[in-house]
A = this chain, B = another copy of it.
Amino acid sequence: MRGPNSNLRRDVPEASLRRLPIYYRSLQEMLLSGVAQVSCADLARILGLDPTQVRKDIEMTGIVGKPRVGYPLGDLVRWIENFLGWNRPKTAVLAGAGSLGSALLGYEKFRSHGMLIIAAFDIDPDKIGQRIHGREVQPLMFLPDFVRQAHTLVGVIATSAAAAQSVTDLMVSAGIRAIWNFAPAHIQVPERVILQNEDLYHSLASLSFKLESKMGVTPTGNGISYAEDN
């Protein structure tokens, strides 16, 4: 009942999902350098993480290791791929062929991680008809039919923030089941749709705060004194 393949995909901590790609990348580099076996302790040493944490994360994929040896490297890489779904290609459509959208369209590595952006849509007449990395930008109004015909499940939002919600709604009504949102907007989706926000401001806030903390800047220097004048 609890064999290596009876992985239930339940209760996977978000934190583990964030670490698995890091392991995956390191493991692939090792693969190139000809390593055959790897232990959690090895990985932990390389990445500066806790060995137990690495083991717990890897256990989630369902792979079973051998004491004193670890895991066959090739197998481990495939188990992670399989667990994350990176070995099962998914098509995606992109809305918003601006600077960011173009960069995403040209990003070949998505393909090797199971994500194929097969079409781009925009509303700007100057953009429509342009070819960007081999795909012709289409009018946004063609998106629903395209999605239905290609059975596409993933939609990438790279429009302005103002347009994000309406484009999302259009995608969802066409059958999209997961939204990857790069616009800095709080968008709403039905329960059944996955929403993944890629918010640069998260990072920017964290970076800015930590840098100032480390450099000794206090956040008291701009004359705000709300509590005094109540």
Contact = CB atoms under 8 A, between A and B. Distances in A.
Contacts of A149: none
Interface string A1-44: 00111110100101001101110111000000000000000000
A199 B47 CA distance: 15
Nearest to A102: B99
B177 A211 contact: yes
Contact of A205 (B21, B63, B78, B201): B21
A217 B200 CA distance: 30
A45 interface: no
A146 interface: no
Contacts of A62: 219
Contacts of A180: 203-204, 207
A204 B82 contact: no
A75 B225 CA distance: 9
A171 interface: no
A173 interface: no
A163 interface: no
Contacts of A84: 205, 208-209
A116 interface: no
A47 to B, nearest CB: 6
Interface string A95-108: 00001101100110
22 contacts: A4-B227, A5-B220, A5-B225, A6-B220, A9-B219, A17-B202, A18-B199, A20-B205, A21-B202, A21-B204, A78-B224, A82-B224, A85-B211, A87-B222, A88-B217, A103-B103, A113-B204, A115-B208, A177-B215, A180-B207, A196-B206, A198-B200
Interface of A: 3-7, 9, 12, 14, 17-18, 20-22, 24-26, 46-48, 62-64, 66, 72, 75, 78-79, 82-88, 90, 99-100, 102-103, 106-107, 109-110, 113-115, 153-154, 177-178, 180, 184-186, 188, 192, 194, 196, 198-215, 217-220, 222, 224-227, 230
